[in-house]
Every structure is written in structure tokens, then in C-alpha cells.
């Protein structure tokens, strides 16, 4: 699985995660970002074309080194500097209150410990900062949710640790985030077990 996970999968995701309605979804997620932005799950830089001009820089955390190479053209075309600063979102190499905002798109499904990672994001967000997120997860349709749970072990193996049935609002609550806004939709062209999407913003509850 090492060769597939480390070399093949990032290239597949670079194509598949830029299809359908994902560009419009990314644009909505990035709207309102400004200043210094932490991005967990930077991947191949698919969010770069959608960043507002007010973003001064992105500090990227992602274990996929191939994704960094695949992002080279997007980085060269973007006016936003990208700084690669870590591979593990549960141990962020930044001081407290470092960032104006954070961004996570289709990332919480794969994190080995999403609550620990979200608590680290909360730690490095400055007062007033918020997390912008788009994540696929547990459907509110119980029939679909049952299929998600059934297929989770297969998805985990073939998609680099991805989970189909993570409850995104519950993960945010467990990490002491307050949801500011959230909506759900089925991603265009995606099967129901994979495409149920949560989109919104949240901030650390203590702010």
C-alpha cells in the first residue's frame, strides 16, 4: 500500500478532486479568508485559484510530498505565497494565536485523530479567527448512513485512510468548536455514500 498511497493516490486525487462542482464548493469555502491562513490537507493546491486577494500567505500542512510537487504550477500562478511547515496536523509547529483563519477541504475524513487535529487548529487561531471547512461525512439519511458504515473499511483501504461516516458536526463539537454557519448538500456527480457534504465556518468556543 505504500507505493499506492504515497505515489499513485495523490495523482488520482489531483484529478478527481477538481471535477464536478468541487471548484464552486472550494470557492465558497475560501470566500472571506484574509491575512495568514493555515491549511490542513493542502494536497496539490486545489484551493489556490480560489483564495481572495486579502490572503497574505498560506501555511500548508500535509503528509503527501507528491502533492507538493503536483502543486508547483498552481503555486507559480498564484499570487499567494505558500509555506510548507509540517506533515502532522495533530502537532502543529506554530505558536498560539498565530493565524487569522484556517482552511480544511475534504481533509477531516482522512485524519487519524481529527479531534486532536482540530484542537491544534483552535490553539493556533488568533482571537476572532475561524475555520472554513468543506467535508464529506455521515449522511443525515439513515439508509445512506448504514451503507456508509458498511463500506467504511473498504474506503479506508482504497482511499488512503478516508472514512465515509465521520460525523463532522460532532467532531467540531468534540474539539470545542462553535459552528457559526453550516449547510449540507450532495456533491454534484458523487454517489450518495461519498458525496454528502458539510460546508461552513466554525471558531473555537472560548473566543
Domains of the chain in start order, with CATH, are: 2-204 (3.40.50.150)
Long-range contacts of 24-30 (CB under 8 A, 24+ apart): 25/105, 25/134, 25/187, 25/197, 25/199, 26/50, 26/105, 26/134, 28/134, 28/199, 29/103, 29/105, 29/132, 29/133, 29/134, 29/199, 30/103, 30/132
For the chain, residues with pLDDT lower than 50 are 1
pLDDT of residue 64: 86
pLDDT of residue 13: 86
| CB-neighbour burial class of residue 166 (10 A; exposed 0-12, middle 13-18, buried 19+) | buried
pLDDT of residue 197: 97
pLDDT of residue 2: 73
pLDDT of residue 207: 66
pLDDT of residue 52: 97
pLDDT of residue 137: 98
Amino acid at each position: 500500500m505504500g507505493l499506492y498511497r504515497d505515489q499513485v493516490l495523490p495523482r488520482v486525487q489531483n484529478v478527481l478532486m477538481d471535477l464536478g462542482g468541487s471548484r464552486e464548493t472550494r470557492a465558497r469555502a475560501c470566500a472571506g479568508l484574509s491575512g495568514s491562513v493555515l491549511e490542513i490537507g493542502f494536497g496539490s493546491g486545489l484551493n489556490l485559484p480560489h483564495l481572495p486577494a486579502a490572503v497574505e500567505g498560506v501555511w500548508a500542512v500535509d503528509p503527501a510530498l507528491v502533492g507538493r510537487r503536483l502543486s508547483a504550477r498552481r503555486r507559480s500562478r498564484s499570487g499567494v505565497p505558500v509555506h510548507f511547515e509540517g506533515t502532522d496536523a495533530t502537532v502543529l509547529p506554530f505558536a498560539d494565536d498565530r493565524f487569522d483563519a484556517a482552511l480544511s477541504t475534504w481533509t477531516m475524513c482522512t485524519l487519524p485523530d481529527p479531534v486532536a487535529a482540530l484542537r491544534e487548529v483552535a490553539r493556533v487561531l488568533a482571537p476572532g479567527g475561524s475555520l472554513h471547512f468543506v467535508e464529506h461525512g455521515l449522511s443525515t439519511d439513515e439508509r445512506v448512513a448504514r451503507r456508509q458504515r458498511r463500506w467504511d473499511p473498504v474506503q479506508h483501504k482504497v482511499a488512503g485512510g478516508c472514512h465515509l461516516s465521520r460525523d463532522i458536526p460532532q467532531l467540531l463539537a468534540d474539539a470545542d468548536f462553535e459552528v457559526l454557519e453550516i449547510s449540507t448538500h450532495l456533491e454534484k456527480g458523487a454517489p450518495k455514500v461519498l458525496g454528502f457534504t458539510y460546508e461552513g465556518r466554525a471558531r473555537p468556543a472560548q473566543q
